[in-house]
């Protein structure tokens, strides 16, 4: 930005303007005034639970360099030189349980053909056009309380009244959202069952206001026969875990719970999970 506006300076919080679209963002960024105080450049940004929405500009970078614009609860409007695909790759590589392979495996078990969701149990990120091998727009479902669809235009609505509009979305978007919420619900069951078998118990994170989020509203679940037999399905999916990289599991657990875990810890946990219940 020219003049006295420095986008590298951190400006916290979102503007009072509550209705946003790709066209509006482009207009505001190129105007170099008005809401610029809420914008800052951060090409080290990583997808995190505070992210609300991500707009893809990889095909026509804003100001010739910004490939993504992110709305973040704390950081405001973030202009990023990384593409959405790069940001998602970083999320899979460094922060997700089992990476993309396990996410796809749940889809296969549920019979879902399309990949729109990245599930993290208490948080989840939804792609408006599917996410493998392409740049696309994203929305954090755990941040949304409702949505409205008109043809191929959708508005996601937060509990505080912000509206994020996306156009040229995939067909049957409500169905894709329902599949994504179901995918995340199953992941939550897997995590809780895995820890239960190790004699551990998890509690819902109090920082996330579950009651206001569509992500945790079971009314959005897809009514599939497998959900009525989820105990058998969970056993099948959990058996699949043994075929996946155990070190990657450890990295994900360490990031998720902020705990230092080394290889010997992982071997101990793995051995303990195989012992018969009678030894406890």
Give all strands of the β-sheet with 19-20 in edge-to-edge order: 19-20, 163-166, 153-158, 144-150
The arithmetic mean of pLDDT across residues 41-47, rounded, is 95
* pLDDT, tens only, 119-161: 998 899 999 998 877 899 999 999 999 999 987 789 999 999 9
Say how far apart CA 249 and CA 253 lie, in whole Å.
6
Contact 213, 177 (CB under 8 A): no
Closest C-alpha to 72, from 137, 156, 168, 139: 139
Q: Where are the beta strands (DSSP E) in 102-205?
A: 117-119, 124-127, 138-140, 144-150, 153-158, 163-166
Domain boundaries, the chain: 19-82, 96-244
The arithmetic mean of pLDDT across residues 1-19, rounded, is 58
Contact 1, 31 (CB under 8 A): no
Say how far apart CA 114 and CA 112 lie, in whole Å.
6
| Contact partners, residue 11, CB within 8 Å, separation at least 6 | 37, 38, 39, 40, 76
Lowest mean pLDDT among 71-80, 128-137, 217-226: 217-226
* Whole-model pTM over 0.85: no
Q: What is the pLDDT of residue 6?
A: 41
């Amino acid at each position: 930005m020219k003049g006295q506006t420095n986008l590298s300076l951190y400006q916290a919080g979102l503007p009072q303007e509550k209705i946003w679209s790709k066209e509006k963002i482009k207009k505001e960024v190129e105007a170099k005034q008005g809401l610029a105080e809420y914008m800052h450049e951060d090409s080290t940004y990583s997808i995190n639970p505070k992210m609300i929405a991500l707009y893809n500009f990889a095909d026509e970078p804003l100001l010739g360099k910004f490939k993504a614009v992110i709305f973040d609860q704390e950081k405001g409007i973030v202009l990023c030189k990384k593409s959405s695909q790069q940001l998602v790759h970083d999320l899979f590589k460094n922060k997700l349980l089992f990476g993309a392979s396990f996410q796809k495996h749940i889809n296969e078990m549920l019979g879902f053909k399309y990949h729109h969701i990245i599930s993290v149990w208490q948080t989840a990120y939804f792609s408006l056009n599917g996410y493998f091998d392409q740049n696309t727009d994203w929305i954090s479902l755990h941040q949304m309380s409702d949505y409205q669809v008109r043809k191929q235009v959708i508005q996601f609505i937060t509990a505080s009244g912000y509206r994020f509009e996306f156009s040229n979305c995939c067909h049957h978007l409500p169905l894709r959202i329902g599949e994504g919420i179901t995918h995340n619900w199953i992941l939550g069951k897997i995590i809780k069952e895995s820890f239960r078998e190790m004699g551990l118990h998890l509690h819902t994170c109090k920082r996330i206001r579950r009651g206001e989020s569509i992500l945790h509203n079971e009314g959005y679940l897809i009514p599939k026969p497998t959900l009525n037999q989820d105990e058998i399905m969970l056993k099948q999916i959990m058996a699949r875990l043994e075929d996946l990289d155990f070190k990657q599991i450890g990295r994900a657990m360490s990031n998720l719970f902020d705990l230092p875990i080394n290889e010997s810890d992982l071997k101990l946990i793995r051995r303990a999970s195989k012992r018969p219940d009678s030894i406890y």
